[in-house]
Structure 1
Amino acid sequence: MSQPEFLYEVFEDFMNSPENKDFSFDNGLVCRWMTGQAKISPKISTYYAKPSKQEKLAETIHQNLLPLMTDCNKALQDVYTLFMQDTTVSEAKKNKLALLYKPADSRLLFLAKLIAFGMERQFVKRDTKNQKLIAGGALSPVVLDYIMDSEVPRPCRHFVGRKEELGKLHTMLEENSKVFLYGIAGIGKSELAKAYAKQYKKYYTNILYVEYSGDLHQSVTDMDFTDDLPEDSEEERFRKHNRFLRSLKDDTLLIIDNFNVTVTQDSFLSVVLKYRCRILFTTRSKFDGHCILQLKEIWEPSCLFQLTSAFYSEAEEHRTLVEEIIETVHRHTFAVELAAKLLENGILPPEQLLEKLREEKASLENEDKISAIKDGQNNKATYYNHIHTLFSLYSISQEQQDIMRDLCFLPPAGISARIFADWLGLTTLNDINDLIETGFVQANTRHTISLHPMIQEIALSETRPSITSCHTLLDSLQKICLMHGMEVSYYKKLFQTVENVIHLIEKDDISKYLLFLEDVFPYMEKYLYQKGMKEIIRELKQLLKGNNHGTSSDRALLLDYQATVETKPEKAIKLEKEALAQIKEITETNAHLVSNLHANLGGLYRMNGQTELAKEHMEKGILLLEQNNLLYTNDSIPQINNYAALLTEMQESERAMSALQKLAQIIKHYNSDHCLDYAQVQESMGNICLITANISQAKSHFKKAMKIYENVWADEPELIEEKYQEIQELYPQIGIALAKGILASINKQE
């Protein structure tokens, strides 16, 4: 099983608790935990700190893991040996836990308590040097510890046949390096690629997997490398990733799944084809002039009957009818699977299903269209009709139809079933599980769901998703995006879902849709998700063309968002000024927006060295917040912080301190003096005091800030260490003293 699935099994009790319903094991983050690049989530370690939860963990291990192990006693013995030989663990701790290991019946409790102890210990990041292995040599470095979330998914456990195709694919990759695995939807291209990776993994140093997101350049940018920094721009991330991928040699295989575009639709293909590694594309598009392996129907009747038997328990009893059904759907792999699941659910007996499929065949105007011809379009139309018929034979409930409608927007890689259920306000996963059993919904792993591309096409035409009919989903996504202080591990999938909404939804309520896009944009900006930001700007431009839709505030926001992505300061300033010009009269309704526009314009002037203009607009922004009782909002914090920084640069440090003291009081009143916002203001005041040589006062502010950082980041010592380093680099005398003091207090707690 994959690493996230493994953790789902281990921490099942944690995942099933109501307070963790929105928690998800992000593949990249899990990989960091496993390789020692990041500390495991404090939510998990805190949950299992209680002895009662440790006992539950022991039960879960017994139930979920022991049946999967060939020699659990040997594994426990190895863990015990590692623990006893660890010189960093005190003898008292060793003796206490060793008492549990000795009796055979408490060894799983020993393991559970050891896991809990390991999660609570001070985290020390493992130093990985993989990226430095590139230089020289004939082989690529082993990169799975360096490139996260790149592991190839396992093939379907019912994968059958294709022995000849697997061998042919291997030969073609060895001879041509770049191969396009081509075929119609639902014929099994992705499964063949996954099966190839599994069967031939010993031939490669690395096999990397990328789910195509509609833009190869973006797919390379979105890869998750251990040395990516939160502040890296998309251009910087792409530059690093592209340079690394170019360095990989032909002992590395890169699989790009679902590359369903043409050469002209993705201009970056020509660059990727120059990589030295081997590349396997799965695609529904025919790339003439390149090395192509066309995947056709499985012709061995025994293989498809075996596939049917995997889903339909009475297949052998109705063998003749089943074989006729397989022929009627033209041996199309996905159609065979759907038919088998329909039979297993008892909706129709085999003879009636066969009759329905034959009726559909006869109803088509052109008999030649049904024959197994080679033309891709006709073939696709034929199979589409088979799938559509099977889809229509199910009498799915209204609730399940609503779920199918919203599922149309999920990214190809899918998302956690629990998170999706939470977006829709579902109290159970029953309806989703029923749809998985029908075959309409794919369970990519045991916890991640998506729609098959052919089912997505049919669901779109049948359910016609619109702003009105999908309001629950859109409201949930909008609510997450409005919680700017909240971090979500699945933000890329969230944004990909939003992009699919933009492309696929029927816009029957433009006002609601505009507000949705306007609220999502700042959350994308927080994560520097430029592809989505540009997508929203394009959509807003289209919607606000002419005067049929939107208000002056909507047009001002569009210009403000355009300024956000603009790289030239002068052009960005012009856009912000145009945004302000859209608002002819300031009212209670638009005061907050106008305040932000002034603050943003002030920030741009500051970057451009025009300090007086910067000061003028920042003051206008803060004054509007005061006049409209909006100082309690989150926007006041960056506004006043930036204003104080500007005043300090202009040698007006007393006014800067006064502004920050006022902000500190606001945060304390509306939130608390133990939050990160308060710490950041204390740190800003400490900086000003140092600049004005008020060392003792600076030290006082820094101590207050550090105490908050220590409490808030108690389970993330690497963040505390980064903050120490930041202060040490800027202010050595103060920083070192503080760092030593805080470190000493942490060591006492250990």
Structure 2
Amino acid sequence: MSQPDFLYELFEDFMDDPVNQDFSMDNGLVCRWMTGQAKISPKISAYYSKPSNQEKLAHTIHQNLLPLMSDCNMAIQDIYTLFIQDDSISDAKKKNLTPLYKPASSRLLFLAKLISFGMERQFIKRNTKNQKLLAGGALSPIVLDYIMDSEVPKPCRHFIGRDKELEELYTVLEENRHVFLCGIAGIGKSELAKAYAKRYIKQYTNILYIEYTGNLHQDITDMDFIDDPPESTDQERFQRHNRFLRSLKSDTLLIIDNFNVTATQDSFLSVVLKYRCQILFTTRSKLDEYCTLPLKEIEDMNALFQLASVFYSEADTYRATVEKIIETVHSHTFAVELAAKLLENGISTPDQLLTRLQVEKASFHNEDKIKIIKDGQSSKATYYSHIHTLFSLYTLSLEQQDIMCNMCFLPSTGISARIFAKWLEMPTLNEINDLIETGFVQTTTRRTISLHPMIQEITLSETKPSVSSCHILLDSLQKICLMHGIEVDYYKKLFQTAGNIIELIEKDDIPKYLLFLENVFPYMDNYNYQKGMKAIIQELKNFLKRKDIGTDSDRALLLDFQATLEIKPEKAIKLEKDALAQIENITADNARLVSNLHANLGGLYRMNGHPDLAREHMEKSISLLDQFNLLHINDSIPQIANYAMFLTEQQEPERGISELQKLSGIIKEYHSDDCLDYAKVQETLGTIYLMTANLPQAKTHFKRAFKIYEKIWADEPEMIGAKYQEIQELYPQIGFCIGKNLSGLLTK
């Protein structure tokens, strides 16, 4: 099983606890836990530190994991040996746990307590010696510990009837290196590619997997390399990733799934085809200029009947009719699966379903069996019509129709069912589970849901999702993006969902839609997600070029967003000045925006050596916040903190400290002295005191800040570590050699 699936099995009690409903086993993060690159979430270790939960863990191991192991006793014995021989574990801890190992009845409790102990130990990041991976040689470097989130998904459990195609695909790849596995939607291309990876895994040093999102250049940029600097730009990430992929040799297989465009629609294809590794594309498009392997229907009726039997328990009783149904839907694997699930749910008898399909078939009998147009979409093909007929036979409740409508926007890789249910404010997963049973909603072995591409197309045409009908989803995504200082580990999937909304939703409420875009953009900026930021800017441009759409504030925000992505300082400054010029009269409704624009312009002037202009705009920004009683809002924190640092640079630290102390009082009054905003102000105060050589005050404020950081980021140890590192790097810049002294105080 995959690494996240393994941890879902191991930590089932933790995941099922309602308190942890927002917790997601992000594939990249799990991989970092497994490879020693990140400490496991403190939420998990804290949960299992309780003796009662350790007993639950022992039971879960017995129930979920032991049946999967060929020799569980030997595994536990090896773990015990590692434990006893580890010199870094105290004798007291060994004496405490060893008695549990001796009697067989408590051996799993020993293992559970040992796992809990291991998670709570001091974390030491593993050195992967990444530079060795780039060394030349006859074979590709092993990239398992280097590229995160590139694992090939497992094929479905019921994959059958493609032995001949698997062998043929192996031969064609060996001879041609780059192969396009083509065929209509739902015929099983992706499943065949996954099954190929599983069968021939020992033939390759690496097998990498990319889910195509419409832009190969961006997909390669978005790959998760373990040593990507967080501050790197999209272009820098792409250059590193592309250079590395070019170094891979023919013993590596790269699978690019759902490449449903033509060569001219993605110009970067020609660059990827220069890679020396083997590449397997799955596609609905006709790409005859390249080496293609067309995937046809499964010819073996017995295999297809076996597939139907998996989902329809009475298939043997009605074998003759079921086989006629299979013939009527042209042996299309996805249609066979849906039909079988429909029969199992009792919505239709085999005879009723056959009659309905035959009537539908007669209506387009004279049409070509398959009509694939240039871009590979085959909505007029008989296969599509069969799926549409099966879809229409289900009587979905209004709640289920709404779920399907909103699921159209989910990334093809899927998302946690619980997170999606929370987005839609659903009290339970019952309706989603019913849709999984019908076959409309796909699920992995553990908790991730998505729509089959054909079902997505049909759902889009049937439900016509709009800003109005999907307002709960849009509101939920905005709330996440507006939660100041809170980050989610599934942010990429959130941004992909937002990207699909931009592409697919019907914009029937333009003011609400513009507000959605404007609220999502700053959150994307937090993660430097430039693909999404550029898409939002382009969408705003398309709407706001019309005079009758949008307000002056909308146009000012668009210019501000463009300045965010502008590389040249002079152009960025001009864009911010143009943004301010859009708003003639400052009112209570736009004061917050105008204040932000002045703060941004002041920051640009500060960075580019214009202190007088920087001071003018920073002070204007803060005076507007004061004038309109907005000093307590989150926007004031960075503005006043930046102004205080600017004053310190200008040899006026007392004024900077005074501004921050007033701000601390406001935050304490309106919010609390235990929130992230208060911590940031305390950190800034500590920094200024450090810069002015007032070490006792610096220590006091840093300790206050870190006490809050450690509480709020309890689940993000890497963020705490990064913050420690950031503070310690200040010391040599200002001539103090007190790193060890202060970091020791902070940890007490």
**TM-score band (shorter)?**
over 0.9
Partners in 1 of 2:517 and 2:119 — Cα distance? 40
TM-score by length of 1: 0.95
Deviation at 1:724, TM superposition (A): 5.7
Q: 1:219 to 1:702 in 2, by over 3 A?
A: same
Determine which of 735, 738, 741 is the counterpart of 1:734: 738
Deviation at 1:703, TM superposition (A): 4.6
Helix, strand or coil at the partner of 1:289: coil
TM-score by length of 2: 0.95
Q: 1:224 to 1:378 in 2, by over 3 A?
A: closer
Q: 1:342 to 1:546 in 2, by over 3 A?
A: same
Listed one character per residue, the Cα deviations across residues 558-577 of structure 1 (whole Å, up to 9, x for unaligned) are 11111111111111111111
Match of 1:748 in 2: none
Q: How does 1:404-483 map to 2 (within 5 A)?
A: 404-483=404-483
Match of 2:159 in 1: 159
Match of 2:3 in 1: 3
Aligned residues: 743
Helix, strand or coil at the partner of 1:622: helix
Q: 1:264 to 1:583 in 2, by over 3 A?
A: same
Of 663-672 and 240-249, deviating more is 663-672
Unaligned runs of 5+ in 1: 746-750
Give yes or no for contact 1:5–1:447 (8 Å, CA) kept in 2. no
Say whether 1:308 aligns with 2:303: no
Amino acid at match of 1:722: Q
Amino acid at match of 1:589: D
Match of 2:725 in 1: 722
Q: How does 1:100-111 map to 2 (within 5 A)?
A: 100-111=100-111
Q: 1:371 to 1:180 in 2, by over 3 A?
A: closer
Partners in 2 of 1:560 and 1:414 — Cα distance? 33
Match of 1:181 in 2: 181
Deviation at 1:470, TM superposition (A): 0.9
Amino acid at match of 1:271: V
Partners in 2 of 1:104 and 1:352 — Cα distance? 58
Q: 1:166 to 1:544 in 2, by over 3 A?
A: same
Helix, strand or coil at the partner of 1:369: coil
Deviation at 1:403, TM superposition (A): 0.6
Deviation at 1:698, TM superposition (A): 4.0
Amino acid at match of 1:559: L
Match of 1:369 in 2: 368
Partners in 2 of 1:666 and 1:119 — Cα distance? 39
Deviation at 1:693, TM superposition (A): 4.1
Listed one character per residue, the Cα deviations across residues 207-247 of structure 1 (whole Å, up to 9, x for unaligned) are 00111111111111111111123222222222221121111
Of 252-261 and 262-271, deviating more is 262-271
Listed one character per residue, the Cα deviations across residues 151-184 of structure 1 (whole Å, up to 9, x for unaligned) are 1001111111121211111112112111111111
Match of 1:322 in 2: 322
Match of 2:62 in 1: 62
Deviation at 1:720, TM superposition (A): 5.8
Listed one character per residue, the Cα deviations across residues 657-699 of structure 1 (whole Å, up to 9, x for unaligned) are 2222323333333344444444433343343344444455445
Listed one character per residue, the Cα deviations across residues 728-748 of structure 1 (whole Å, up to 9, x for unaligned) are 5435422232124445x3xxx
Give yes or no for contact 1:12–1:60 (8 Å, CA) kept in 2. yes
Partners in 2 of 1:255 and 1:639 — Cα distance? 47
Amino acid at match of 1:316: D
Q: How does 1:517-596 map to 2 (within 5 A)?
A: 517-596=517-596
Listed one character per residue, the Cα deviations across residues 522-558 of structure 1 (whole Å, up to 9, x for unaligned) are 1111111111111111111122222222111111111
Give yes or no for contact 1:648–1:656 (8 Å, CA) kept in 2. yes
Listed one character per residue, the Cα deviations across residues 7-37 of structure 1 (whole Å, up to 9, x for unaligned) are 1111111111222111111000001011111
Amino acid at match of 2:421: A
Q: 1:373 to 1:688 in 2, by over 3 A?
A: closer
Amino acid at match of 2:33: W
Amino acid at match of 1:314: E
Partners in 2 of 1:414 and 1:371 — Cα distance? 29
Q: Tell me the percent identity.
A: 72
Q: 1:269 to 1:671 in 2, by over 3 A?
A: same
Match of 1:489 in 2: 489
Q: 1:96 to 1:612 in 2, by over 3 A?
A: same
Match of 2:218 in 1: 218
Listed one character per residue, the Cα deviations across residues 612-658 of structure 1 (whole Å, up to 9, x for unaligned) are 11111111111111111211111111111211222233333332222
Q: 1:666 to 1:431 in 2, by over 3 A?
A: same
Helix, strand or coil at the partner of 1:83: helix
Helix, strand or coil at the partner of 1:487: coil
Partners in 2 of 1:645 and 1:239 — Cα distance? 35
Listed one character per residue, the Cα deviations across residues 458-496 of structure 1 (whole Å, up to 9, x for unaligned) are 101111111111111111111111113111111111111
Partners in 2 of 1:133 and 1:201 — Cα distance? 20
Helix, strand or coil at the partner of 2:265: coil
Give yes or no for contact 1:130–1:141 (8 Å, CA) kept in 2. no
Q: 1:378 to 1:414 in 2, by over 3 A?
A: closer
Helix, strand or coil at the partner of 1:528: coil
Partners in 2 of 1:670 and 1:553 — Cα distance? 27
Listed one character per residue, the Cα deviations across residues 385-424 of structure 1 (whole Å, up to 9, x for unaligned) are 0000011111111111111111111111010111111111
Listed one character per residue, the Cα deviations across residues 101-128 of structure 1 (whole Å, up to 9, x for unaligned) are 2221122221211111111111111111
Partners in 2 of 1:660 and 1:107 — Cα distance? 57
Q: How does 1:89-100 map to 2 (within 5 A)?
A: 89-100=89-100
Match of 1:253 in 2: 253
